[in-house]
Amino acid sequence: MSEVTGMNDGKKLRTLKNPKKYRTIFLSDIHLGFKGCQADFLLDFLSRTESDFLYLVGDIFDGWEMKKKSYWPASHQKVVNAILKKAATGTRVIYTPGNHDESARHYCGHTFDNIEIRDTAMHEAADGRKLLVLHGDQFDTVVQCNRFLSKAGSTMYGRLLTLNRVINAVRGLLGLPYWSLAAHLKHKVKNVVSYIGRFEEAVVNSARSQGVQGVVCGHIHHAEITMFGDTLYCNTGDWVESCTAMVENRNGKLEILKWTELAELIKSGQRPKRAPALNAA
């Protein structure tokens, strides 16, 4: 095993000699151009994995934040370069823009640097299941009907993530692992939990109306794989709070990987047989 400098505390991590190979990787809500983006964790993930298909499920860039202030560190450019390299070396990359990178929707139907831009996509898993892929803001009535309230909420969320970075800087000094304050509060606030439930129901109903077996989305920064009756609901999570990705194995099995937990295992010198998964289907 070799070593690379990666995570936020600057410590060296052991790099897997051979990248883990998946059939498909789904990423969303990276928010490049936003200070809350966990680009170092994502770079580590991209360097340790390969796939036949890579879906970028919206909010890859944060146009809302970049309009307010210019922020583009080297790590964010390295993420873009890593994705472009994958697209140039055989990985089929499909990008379905979201609300924070909605300007890219003007180019839906086009391909740039081997990256296909689509409003929605249809993925056929190895086991034959057909999955609708889209960001998910199409079902968020707040975004759809009142952009002012949505952007005001985005500003408050940004402040919360700033506090999250301070907390984790202190935790790092104390030798404690990464912990997401935003994700913790999200599970405690009744209105947020209710909104997530309504969002999931709306996305699943859309998938059913199109006669597919499941749906893959992002948008709400809440990673999950679950069944709603006979319809599979998958949310890839995000790379500002939880640092999660959804992967498809060669047999069609889907699972969500929580990369912060795997990074901690690697830093401690452990060699897990597989990355920590939240759930699978």
CATH number for the domain including 162? 3.60.21.10
Domain count of the fold of the chain: 1
> Among residues 121, 134, 51, which one has the least CA distance to residue 85?
51
Q: Is the pLDDT of residue 72 over 50?
A: yes
Domain range holding 134? 2-280
| 103: confidence class by pLDDT, cuts 50, 70, 90 | very high
| 181: confidence class by pLDDT, cuts 50, 70, 90 | low
Residues 117-166 have pLDDT tens digits of 999 999 999 999 999 999 999 887 643 444 444 554 555 666 666 666 66
Q: Is the pLDDT of residue 265 over 80?
A: no
To the question of pTM greater than 0.75 for the whole model, the response is: yes
CB-CB contact of 218 with 98 (8 Å) = yes
> Among residues 131, 100, 130, 106, which one has the least CA distance to residue 118?
106
* DSSP string for residues in 211-252: T-SEEEE-SSS--EEEEETTEEEEE---SSSS-EEEEE-TTS
